[in-house]
Structure 1
């Protein structure tokens, strides 16, 4: 792999270019691709200062503790935060001119890995969409086809990485928000086990445990390196799960390609999952067919619970922060009203349904070690497919479930899930697959993803800035 963050870091470490030169290349690429709409905040001076500071520290960076020394990167305009980069969550309710918080615990770890941040990426308002097209702008486009969505809510991050503006970018996942954009743009993304990634010091974006933060990456090795330096010892609010070593020997791989009449899966994307299963079977793993009815109720419940948690969390945040929801998009206002109107009893019933959905998933994993599924039901959708100028949260949730039907189950259960491209369709768009596993099996997912990546079925279309010939 000569087109990822690890290779760029190696080039910087070996003196083929400096961190400042890598940053200048990223800044130039960001300017050239401004029409992509991937970046909402760009601070050239902040990025160059971070790169100069890194060059001064570059006497002998340890590739284990600082695997991405000098590599330019971007934060997300939701989650974090990153000191010096004012977050507004794609919303007119928040003022970027207000005093911002310092680095989150995760931001500190990402900086400690050597990443140099210079901006924030585009998100839908308050993360309420699987497309990144906030009314405040910019409209984020897919670099593989600018008429299509790059996904959401980490759409700007995925677009920037796929376009080569940066090789790696911060991202968050509350209902597929890392995995869906990665799948749309031909990248690798992991929703880690609940409790693995640090959520402090405020814990404000973590929605009762359903959300997790990390990054979208160009390679499994990038993701594995970042996972090692960013994860573990998260210091609450959830207990660190017992991290299991990647299993050796024969695995039982559950295979699900058909969602019955609930969600139609594009035949090309279902075929990619079948092909991934055959590749793992050739390694000696056993393939176990998992019928849709084993997961049907859990998938439906997870979508309902996701909507309720998001609505209550958003209403609480808006009221606690003294924000004015009338300044927000119509869909955001509707979610706030829904959250305010929800009784404690109805919220408890929803959370209880989520517990039962998680229990059913645990029982399914009694017969398999991991589950291989489609990530998306079809190709990335055209821009405008997730409008937010209406006041129907249920319609929005239904549209998102139809596009990524097996995304929110990992969030509600807390289980890890990874996506990566496993081929391209006739139009050159990625054919993504998803692998889920029980709590604490993140390393297993990374190992399986590396095995599938070794099939070399996907090639990045754009070189990373700084590595351009």
Structure 2
């Protein structure tokens, strides 16, 4: 298998040095500029590789994301030049990156994001867009689109990613990767909790294999819970035949492995729990945007029009509005859990169709309604797992017309480890033909 675990094994066996693996990643990164936000100087990156901690990923090059948990020495700007001009590189790792580093990973750069993460495509103003390695005219998704592009193009075998409204699962589905949105509170977000977002956000990795995701989770968190072999399948009518067929193929794999497959709720999920979760997420993101930009001192005239509109929407919210939103989150969590019935996992598509073309999420307008409706239309099955704080694993379930097709397994709260074990029959369901090998991995 070609993944981060294989690269770590090759380094441990002396088939390639950690420095040579890093050099290969650095060289590949310069060939794929749209995936990157920033990188350490070459000599510093090589030195870090040489001093990698012992662990399951010892010596494996790794990227942080330009949003979320911070990495010492790498300035995080959330895809915004205005923010970059007003912040400094952190002197210490966040709690999450201290654990990543202790696992042997070697962070040497940050991957690109849409400005402040407010899109499902990764095209920050003033920078080359992140492109889908399978089709350069299409998006790799967002907001972890740079991370997905980096892993799918082989710059690195594994990369940090975050998910507040599908931002791990959407890029995974676009690029044929594995990605777990952990349960609420499972991945450490201290010491500053800058990406907590009232509990809708979680952080972990994007990778080419299930085993890499399992190892990454084990390195940063421990979860409890067992799962029964019952899977409820939900096929929203918002998804095209390719997404539906890939999800049904995954259901057959699980059934062959002994799972009991049953139909989910008969009505369209969009009627009961799609629009309300996204509206709550919109409110939280607008409030966070206003608070963060104001604290950083960014004026409106340095922002794209869409972000100005979102900031104004956040500024208009009252404390009462946000208090009500926190209550609504808990109410929606209970409603969403009812859709499991007597099952412990739900299987459903991630996207409604193929990855959109580049330019699908412009920011040169103020129509927030249209922007969020477009995100909801692209990933109609993502937001409610964030609101309910559930673990949701995106995985490759098909390959059609030269593009990967993803599906997702969603578990009950804090069943993350059990969910990954439950997904094991899917690990070899399909062999995604990545257009590039992992940089440095011996063949």
Q: Secondary structure at the match of 1:141?
A: coil
| 2:161 aligned to which of 159, 171, 176 | 171
Alpha-carbon separation, structure 2, partners of 1:402 and 1:314? 23
Alpha-carbon separation, structure 2, partners of 1:138 and 1:78? 18
Q: Secondary structure at the match of 2:312?
A: helix
Alpha-carbon separation, structure 1, partners of 2:425 and 2:32? 33
1:422 and 1:457 in contact (8 A); partners too: no
| 2:327 aligned to which of 325, 348, 352 | 352
1:110 aligns with 2:84: no
Q: Which has the higher contact order (CA 8 A, sep 6+)?
A: 2
| 1:423 aligned to which of 377, 387, 398 | 398
Alpha-carbon separation, structure 1, partners of 2:47 and 2:169? 31
- Once the two structures are TM-superposed, the CA of residue 100 in structure 1 deviates from its matched residue by 2.5
1:41 aligns with 2:15: no
If the length of structure 1 is used for normalisation, what is the TM-score? 0.91
- Once the two structures are TM-superposed, the CA of residue 415 in structure 1 deviates from its matched residue by 0.7
2:250 and 2:429 in contact (8 A); partners too: no
Aligned residue number for residue 65 of structure 2 = 76
Alpha-carbon separation, structure 2, partners of 1:445 and 1:459? 25
| 1:89 aligned to which of 59, 78, 94 | 78
Alpha-carbon separation, structure 2, partners of 1:369 and 1:456? 24
CA offset digits 1:172-199 (Å, max 9, x no partner):
1111111111110110001001111100
1:12 and 1:18 in contact (8 A); partners too: yes
- Once the two structures are TM-superposed, the CA of residue 97 in structure 1 deviates from its matched residue by 7.1
1:439 aligns with 2:440: no
- Once the two structures are TM-superposed, the CA of residue 108 in structure 1 deviates from its matched residue by 0.6
Q: Secondary structure at the match of 1:293?
A: coil
2:257 and 2:425 in contact (8 A); partners too: no
Q: Give the paired residue count.
A: 440
- Once the two structures are TM-superposed, the CA of residue 468 in structure 1 deviates from its matched residue by 5.3
CA offset digits 1:54-90 (Å, max 9, x no partner):
3xx6xxx4xxxx1100001111111121011101111
Aligned residue number for residue 52 of structure 1 = 50
Alignment of 1:196-275 (within 5 A): 196-232=186-222, 243-245=224-226, 247=227, 251-259=229-237, 264-275=238-249
Alpha-carbon separation, structure 1, partners of 2:268 and 2:224? 26
Unaligned stretches of 5+ residues in structure 2: none
Quick check: 333-342 or 289-298, which moved more?
289-298
Alpha-carbon separation, structure 2, partners of 1:441 and 1:98? 37
Q: Secondary structure at the match of 1:382?
A: coil
Alpha-carbon separation, structure 2, partners of 1:98 and 1:441? 37
Aligned residue number for residue 332 of structure 1 = 307
Q: Secondary structure at the match of 1:284?
A: coil
Aligned residue number for residue 25 of structure 1 = 24
Aligned residue number for residue 367 of structure 2 = 392
Alpha-carbon separation, structure 2, partners of 1:416 and 1:118? 28
| 1:381 aligned to which of 342, 350, 356 | 356
Alignment of 1:100-139 (within 5 A): 100-101=89-90, 102-139=92-129
| 1:308 aligned to which of 257, 262, 283 | 283
If the length of structure 2 is used for normalisation, what is the TM-score? 0.96
Alpha-carbon separation, structure 2, partners of 1:384 and 1:456? 30
Quick check: 205-214 or 219-228, which moved more?
205-214
Aligned residue number for residue 151 of structure 2 = 161
| 2:173 aligned to which of 183, 207, 216 | 183
- Once the two structures are TM-superposed, the CA of residue 231 in structure 1 deviates from its matched residue by 1.7
1:121 and 1:156 in contact (8 A); partners too: yes
